[in-house]
Structure 1
Amino acid sequence: MSAPCPAPKVVKQAIHWMLKLRESGYSPILKQQCDEWRKVDHDHELAWQRVLSLHQELDLQAVPGASIALQTLETSQQRLHRRQALKLLGSVALLGSAAWLGKDLDAVATWTSDYASATGGRRSFHLPDGSLLQLNTASAVDLAFDARQRLIRLKRGEMMLTCEESQANGRPLLVQTRDGLLEGFEARFGVRQDGDCTRVSVSRGKVAIHRPGKGRLHWINEGQAYRLDATGMRSLEQADMDASAWVEGLIVTRDMRLGDFLREVGRYRHGLLGCSDEIADLRLSGVFRLEDTDKLLQLLPQTLPVKVTYRTRWWVSLERSA
């Protein structure tokens, strides 16, 4: 159940057409030639729509240096590989916003994902077996459902899965992450893949963790949360944030460090968000809505001795107020 993906050379051609049109001021003659190219083959149209989506995602008209970033991607031999793209974009960091675009090149990865969400977005899907899959910001999964199993591969980000035993038909429901294989049993559970670990929290039912070479299963029951990484797994006893609140569009904190809170909010917005070291250890508790992160940030000076500074639209920092 893989999403169709045009050949890299066709994607390169689509990017080339996009750049030519932009440079010409969208010349009617060039537009007609581009339209004719799109009609030649279905892959041409598919590649064009995906490049157009990336164009809109990056807001090229408003972001200085974005077209140069796309040109860099066009000439890259690894232009559809995120890590390589980030390295290339790093070489044009002096253009300002081009380096920031690296964060949002996850949009490219959605082209080959069965289900995905954009930065700041949340999406819900009913899977072929009737299970409910919910994706948090900038997340992507692939499905491999067959006669033997129902496998969900979490490629990046965070998901919530609600499954019923009646949907199984003898096939286990598995979630594969970088750090382990999870099996849900009439459960509602969240899985988050960070850069250095996988976090699992169970709201209902139970989940089994399969660890390669570890032999026996480890069970996570309702109300429990665990962290998995290359060194092993450990229970998360006192969480400073509600692991499932994002499903309702909220961040719910309990005595959370300001630095950690801003890192979390940063997942839901484009650009850079941070604070000075002298206020990073300030603590906050509360319920915050994610629908508008700029409004969310404006609430912080009401409870903490901080001020919010917009250096640019995409570069926001917090400092101690006078």
Structure 2
Amino acid sequence: MKTSAEMTPSPKAVKQAIHWMLSLRESGDDPALSQRCDRWRKANQEHEQAWQRVISLHQDLDLRTIPGAGVALQTLETSQRRLHRRQALKLLGGAALVGSASWLAQDLESVSGLVSDYVTATGEIRTIGLPDGSLLQLNTRSAVDVAFTDHQRMIRLNHGELMLTCSPTPYQGRPLLVQTRDTLLEGFEGRFVVRQDDDCTRISVSQGRVAFQRPGSAGLQWISSGQDWRVDALSAERLEQVDMDAGAWTEGLIVTRNMRLADFLSQVNRYRHGYLSCSDEIADLRLSGVYRLEDPDQLLQLLPQALPVRLRRRTRWWIRLEPVA
């Protein structure tokens, strides 16, 4: 059973905590609101855990700089007066809070290092040398736990993406394992990328080979060099074609091959704060090329040169691509 320190609050609880903090900031000194917030925190251990996460991040961020916070708060308060609680929580996770809660939630994810051994912030790529000589690289907004014992070498990917270059030194009886939400992998001499998306785990092997356990099966599936796989809670499938070089981020690049614009923007947005999207009319436009990730906003400036699109900005953080009129 997990202790309080080991608990990871759900996105729903984190969004509620964000709401309480925004409400308290907006109201100034409101004893009644403070009491209601205290009751919410005491009602559930997960609530208190989420609150502490938000408080910890708040020490490093000034919420007044978050775009759209005032509008989001006003919308939320109106919704709570007019809608049932379940409907209000649904609205809290919707577009009304794109400028505030979503932006903050990205950084809450990044600071999960409060309970993880290694973590990267938005836009950060980090390299870690492991005790066995293996090399671990973490992509933006990623977090892992590392546990090396007398019996095994375990890396738990809590969220985000990693590249693991396995040590060439044999470790008899101590397998090198990577655990995700969907599967357990064993790495051998070589290099591979593992990314945990919301609905699946993606595995790409560039050198050597990797074994993983199929969902619902006691047997192992081997992934050879040059192969890409998608694994979720119910199935595993080899991807015959991929639209992005899985390991290019280790070089600070995003390399696309006939990639949908909407999917490209989703990847770019992992390296920046704020909201980034495109209209449905241009979502299926295709991109192929090599782009540098060091300055995502400068990268976006290149898109109108390659596609019939224009950038529409509301704030520094809010960008939407639309078709050229």
2:182: which partner in 1? 179
Matches within 5 A, 1:229-268: 229-268=232-271
Indicate how the Cα distance of structure 1 residues 250 and 64 shifts in structure 2: closer, same or farther if over 3 A, else same.
closer
1:294: which partner in 2? 297
1:193: which partner in 2? 196
Is 1:90 equivalent to 2:117 in the alignment?
no
1:211: which partner in 2? 214
Indicate how the Cα distance of structure 1 residues 63 and 215 shifts in structure 2: closer, same or farther if over 3 A, else same.
closer
Question: Cα deviations across residues 181-218 of structure 1 (Å, max 9, x unaligned)?
Answer: 10001120000000111000111111001235413211
Indicate how the Cα distance of structure 1 residues 51 and 99 shifts in structure 2: closer, same or farther if over 3 A, else same.
closer
Matches within 5 A, 1:1-322: 54-56=58-60, 58-63=61-66, 90=92, 97-100=99-102, 101-166=104-169, 168-211=171-214, 213-322=216-325
**Number of residue-to-residue matches in the alignment:** 272
RMSD: 3.4
Question: Cα deviations across residues 216-271 of structure 1 (Å, max 9, x unaligned)?
Answer: 21100111111101221111111111011011010000111111111111111111
What is the TM-score with the length of structure 2 in the denominator?
A: 0.74
Question: For residues 208 and 92 of structure 1, what CA distance do their matches in structure 2 show?
Answer: 39
What is the TM-score with the length of structure 1 in the denominator?
A: 0.74
Amino acid at match of 1:109: S
Indicate how the Cα distance of structure 1 residues 210 and 230 shifts in structure 2: closer, same or farther if over 3 A, else same.
same
Can you give the 5+ residue segments of structure 1 that lack an aligned partner in the other structure?
25-47, 70-86
Are the counterparts in 1 of residues 178 and 184 from structure 2 also a CA contact under 8 Å? Answer: yes
Question: For residues 7 and 182 of structure 1, what CA distance do their matches in structure 2 show?
Answer: 24
Can you give the 5+ residue segments of structure 2 that lack an aligned partner in the other structure?
9-16, 30-51, 73-88
Indicate how the Cα distance of structure 1 residues 211 and 96 shifts in structure 2: closer, same or farther if over 3 A, else same.
closer
Offset of residue 130 of structure 1: 1.9
Are the counterparts in 1 of residues 125 and 137 from structure 2 also a CA contact under 8 Å? Answer: yes
Amino acid at match of 1:55: Q
Amino acid at match of 1:261: F
State percent identity of aligned pairs: 60
Question: Cα deviations across residues 141-197 of structure 1 (Å, max 9, x unaligned)?
Answer: 112211100111111010000112415243000001111110001120000000111
Indicate how the Cα distance of structure 1 residues 181 and 314 shifts in structure 2: closer, same or farther if over 3 A, else same.
same
